[in-house]
Amino acid sequence: MERYFGNAFKGDPEVPHTNSGQFRKWINSTTFLKKAMEKNQPYEFKWNQHSWKIRDSYYHNWPFYWP
């Protein structure tokens, strides 16, 4: 495994955007996907569970969140 993943984990300078942080994100997302597929349930967005009042105020105050 070191032969395949060693350079990406160490941050090979010849490969752009590879460092240990990026590698951990890739591994964590793969682990999350595997656990999500075991549950076999569709994903529901948490944003849709908020009330309309909260969602509308978020977009109304958009310039305050992203100046």
Give the mean pLDDT of 32-60.
82
Give residue 67's pLDDT band: very low, low, confident or very high (50, 70, 90).
Answer: low
In the chain, what's the furthest Cα-to-Cα distance?
53
Rounded Cα–Cα distance for residues 3 and 20 (Å):
16
Give residue 52's pLDDT band: very low, low, confident or very high (50, 70, 90).
Answer: confident
State how far the alpha carbon of 20 is from the alpha carbons of 13, 15, 43, 53, 62, in Å. 12, 13, 29, 41, 34
Give the mean pLDDT of 8-13.
57
Percent of the chain with pLDDT over 90: 3
Q: Each residue of 13-45: pLDDT tens digit?
A: 566 555 666 778 888 888 988 988 898 888 788
- Please check whether residue 58 is in contact with residue 47, taking contact to mean a CB–CB distance below 8 angstroms: no
Q: Where are the beta strands (DSSP E) in the chain?
A: none
